[in-house]
Amino acid sequence: MVKICCLGAGYVGGPTMAVIASKCPKIEVVVVDISVSRIAAWNSDQLPIYEPGLEDVVKSCRGKNLFFSTNIEKHISDSDIIFVSVNTPTKTRGLGAGKAADLTYWESAARMIADVSKTDKIVVEKSTVPVKTAEAIEKILTYNRKGIKFHILSNPEFLAEGTAVQDLLKPDRVLIGGRETLEGRRAVQTLKEVYAHWVPEDQIITTNLWSAELSKLAANAFLAQRISSMNAISALCEATGANILEVAHAVGKDSRIGPKFLNSSVGFGGSCFQKDILNLIYICECNGLFEVANYWKQVIKINDYQKSRFVNRVVSSMFNTVCGKKIAVLGFAFKKDTGDTQETPAIDVCNGLLRDKANISIYDPQVTEDQIRRELSMIKSDWGYQGSLQPKSPTSVKQVNVVWDAYEATKSAHGICIVTEWDEFKKLDFERIYTDMQKPAFVFDGRNILDLEKLRKIGFIVYSIGKPLDPWVKNMPTMV
């Protein structure tokens, strides 16, 4: 039986390998990482990432056929299939800064594989990479090989954070791209047999390398575009009195469109959508396809617009100033059921409110104070969308309070912003919250999860993305 090693014990490497190990008890799976603390966490009771169901899967096979280790060289050398699931962030400096994928981690992983391998290997691109990365990796491996054969496959991961385990157990499809040679096809077959332990064969798609690489970027661009499309329509709903939920329902009934992923919100976040679209834009520009690049740029522009539109609504509704007012921010993770805060819209919402000198009180059930403060201490640099590590002024840090209870966050507040759609926010006692707030009391629902009629009856002035506006909100002139 094959032995598997995975480089990178992150949001993708950890859950993916845990599911492979649980479904293939005869295959030994070792996940390695350069981060000692991450590996220690995977070996402990407190896993480094929060995903529903993940703990049970890990516990069922850890120490049996699933191992987490920092001994990267040994496990690369021992395995037949090496997944590379290292991070591929946007470049922050130099050529392509703010757009191109930074392949530093990938290249060093490839060099390490070339250095320590003593037998033939199948190297699987699990990270999301620019089209033609496999070719570059192949070059690094073949220039450094010592008579060893490396077969490169592209096997992009389509899991979504928050539902990673379910997505891995029942994937819509598994995509494997390989060279169209006899040996390439054999390598594809070997990987296919691993997934075939639990994924029906007709859901395992095989393509050439470049199609697989591009499909992942295209899929993320389509998903993000769907959100930006709904968000663009949400602005029009507010202007016309239409209701985004009714529009989404009617639009989604068209079987060509489908009902999923049509929620309008304060904007998309997460480590992937923006990074992958920027990467797609860069590839288009490098190929002289400027019109195509501009088309995809608009998806990110609408996302930024939606975040600033939300902040503008908050400020303008509250007499055009939030200076010195307490605003409760409920939710900081980029979506529910994850503790991930990379590119979360909460960062822009909080920064927008801080610029207007609000005092913000943040509560998220899964995000620590340290993490929130780290995210808010980054300043966006001029050239693009990626944060740079310049510390902010101490004053703005003082305006931020992080608490461990929604009632504490909302106590004496002037307004509440719902930024993440955590289920527990739907069940809050808003009568109690209203009693403890300053009046008039405002709720700004950036996720459309609350019962507005109930809130209005209690006495709140409410704003919910894309829903017909309260007269109060409508009468406050705003820049949208």
Element (H, E) at 74: helix 72-78
Distance CA 332, CA 343 (A): 10
The least CB distance from residue 476 to ligand NAI, in Å, is 38
Rounded alpha-carbon distances, angstroms, from residue 447 to 262, 268, 385, 430: 12, 11, 23, 17
Using CB under 6 A as the binding rule, whether residue 177 contacts ligand NAI is answered as no
Residues 6+ apart with CB under 8 A from 451: none
- Antiparallel, parallel or unpaired: β 379-380 and 387-388: antiparallel
* Residues 3, 78: Cα–Cα separation, whole Å: 7
Q: What is the largest CA-CA distance in the chain?
A: 76
Going residue by residue from 106 to 145, which x/- string records binding to ligand NAI, judged by CB under 6 A?
--xx-----------------xx-----------------
Q: Which residue is nearest to ligand NAI (CB)?
A: 10
What stretch of H or E contains 328?
strand 326-330
Residue 33 contacts ligand NAI per CB under 6 A? yes
Element (H, E) at 237: helix 209-240
Q: Is 105 in the site for ligand NAI (CB under 6 A)?
A: yes
- At closest approach, how far in Å is the CB of 58 from ligand NAI? 15
Instruction: Give helix then strand counts, H and E, for the chain.
Output: 20, 16
- In the complex, least distance from residue 43 CB atom to ligand NAI, rounded to whole angstroms: 14
Residue ranges of alpha helices (H) inside 96-208 are 104-116, 133-144, 164-169, 182-195
Question: Is position 272 an interface residue for ligand NAI (rule: CB under 6 A)?
Answer: yes
| Amino acid letter, residue 467 | K
Q: From the list 2, 3, 25, 35, which residue makes contact with ligand NAI (rule: CB under 6 A)?
A: 35
**Between 127 and 263, CB nearer to ligand NAI:** 127
Using left for φ > 0, alpha for ψ between -120 and 50, and beta otherwise, residue 151 falls in: beta
Q: Hey, is 184 helix, strand or coil?
A: helix
Cα distances (angstroms) measured from residue 118 to each of 85, 115, 147, 190: 21, 9, 9, 19
Of 129 and 461, the one with the shorter C-beta distance to ligand NAI is: 129
Query: Minimum distance between the CB of residue 194 and ligand NAI, rounded to whole angstroms?
Result: 18
Of residues 388-407, those binding ligand NAI (CB under 6 A): none
The Cα–Cα gap between 103 and 295 comes to 25
Q: Which residues are catalytic?
A: 272
Mention every residue, 6+ apart, whose C-beta is less than 8 A from residue 411.
436, 437
Least separation in angstroms between CB 275 and ligand NAI: 6
Amino acid at 2: V
Which two tokens mark 16?
């993916």
| Closer to ligand NAI by Cβ: residue 79 or 361 | 79
Between 201 and 240, how does the x/- string for binding to ligand NAI read (CB under 6 A)? ----------------------------------------
Segment contacting ligand NAI by CB under 6 A, of 1-9, 363-371, 418-426, 451-459: 1-9
Taking contact as CB under 6 A, which single stretch among the options 27-35, 114-122, 380-388, 421-429 is the one that binds ligand NAI?
A: 27-35
Nearest approach in angstroms of CB 11 to ligand NAI is 4
Binding residue for ligand NAI (CB under 6 A) from 9, 54, 330, 476? 9
Nearer to ligand NAI, 38 or 326 (CB): 38
List 65, 79, 88, 386, residue binding ligand NAI (CB under 6 A): 88
Per CB under 6 A, does 157 bind ligand NAI?
Answer: yes
Contacts to ligand NAI by CB under 6 A:
7-13, 32-35, 38, 72, 85-88, 105, 108-109, 127-128, 157, 159, 161, 271-272
